[in-house]
């Protein structure tokens, strides 16, 4: 459990996430709730920040490190070991699904994406992590009303639209990359893109797209024709989810 140095002090947070949308949305949510957040796009970038802090009194010395459970390159338990060698911060794994047991054992705790500032606070105070999200619900709203309401309380409407427009734009790029990966049967790339969609859209409360990303993360390219049919359906649904999100923006937050 994290212990504050004073009654009102909030911990300095280092957020490590290779997905731009997920990283920016998480940083925005925590910053608007009073936390000071520094970000790194991967493990090596985080180590550079921490190493620089050793010789500079005013440099980054985080109290808490949030790290995505799946990143290319230096990640997982190896990254945790490198972080602990350079920092005394509490390390929490962030994931859209249950991480491997060895990862949770090496870390100080676990947060399920998408998470709120309140869930983060409860974890720091020693609370239990949230449970894994339920399977895709076809009747689920395009956007979480709770997340949208929180954004609207924390920032102006124009900024809220910018957040969701960034999600739509990023989703469009990932859909095209996903189509190419499915066409070539590149299961690892499909799963990587699905993980990124699940994380980024989940943090923004884009429920439908996040659920589809979770399904793609479990994609198996060894399952024959049925898998190809399922992939085509998921791709079509993902494009539809992106259109619905854009339609929601145009209707509720016109530019």
pTM equals: 0.59
Which pLDDT score is estimated for 139?
66
Residues in the chain: 255
Tokens found for residue 247: 């339609």
CATH no., domain 145-252: 1.20.120.160
Burial of 239 (0-12, 13-18, 19+ CB in 10 A): middle
Over the chain (255 residues), what is each successive 10-residue block's mean pLDDT? 52 92 89 92 92 59 90 88 89 82 82 82 70 50 86 89 91 90 83 88 87 78 49 79 87 81
Q: What is the pLDDT of residue 230?
A: 64
* Per-residue pLDDT at 168: 92
> Whole-angstrom Cα distance, residue 107 to residue 125?
16
Q: Where are the domains of the chain?
A: 12-124, 145-252
> Is CATH 3.30.565.10 what the domain over 12-124 is classified as, yes or no?
no
Measured over the CA atoms of residue 42, residue 38, residue 84 and residue 53, the dihedral's sign is positive
Separation of alpha carbons 249 and 243, rounded Å? 10
How many angstroms separate the Cα of 143 from the Cα of each of 133, 153, 181, 186, 210?
A: 15, 16, 27, 30, 10
Instruction: List the alpha helices (DSSP H) in the chain.
Output: 20-32, 43-53, 76-86, 101-106, 117-124, 145-154, 157-183, 187-204, 207-217, 225-252
| 67 DSSP β-pair partners | 16, 93
Other Cβ atoms less than 10 A from the Cβ of 53: the count is 17
């Amino acid at each position: 459990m994290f212990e504050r140095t004073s009654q009102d002090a909030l911990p300095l947070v280092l957020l490590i996430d290779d997905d731009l949308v997920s990283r920016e949305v998480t940083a925005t949510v925590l910053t608007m709730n009073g936390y000071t957040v520094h970000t790194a796009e991967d493990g090596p970038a985080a180590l550079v920040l921490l190493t620089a802090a050793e010789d500079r009194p005013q440099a980054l010395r985080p109290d808490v490190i949030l790290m995505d459970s799946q990143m290319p390159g230096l990640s997982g338990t190896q990254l945790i070991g490198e972080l602990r060698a350079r920092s005394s911060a509490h390390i929490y794994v962030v994931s859209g699904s249950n991480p491997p047991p060895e990862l949770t054992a090496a870390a100080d705790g676990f947060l399920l994406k998408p998470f709120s500032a309140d869930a983060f606070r409860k974890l720091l105070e020693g609370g239990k992590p949230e449970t894994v999200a339920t399977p895709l619900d076809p009747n689920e709203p395009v956007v979480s009303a709770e997340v949208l309401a929180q954004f609207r309380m924390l920032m102006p409407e124009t900024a809220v639209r910018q957040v969701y427009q960034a999600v739509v734009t990023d989703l469009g790029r990932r859909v095209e990359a996903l189509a190419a990966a499915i066409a070539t049967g590149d299961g690892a790339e499909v799963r990587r893109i699905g993980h990124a969609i699940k994380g980024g859209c989940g943090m923004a409360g884009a429920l439908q797209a996040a659920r589809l990303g979770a399904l793609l993360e479990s994609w198996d390219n060894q399952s024959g024709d049925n898998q190809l049919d399922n992939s085509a359906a998921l791709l079509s649904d993902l494009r539809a989810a992106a259109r619905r999100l854009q339609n929601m923006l145009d209707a509720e937050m016109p530019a």
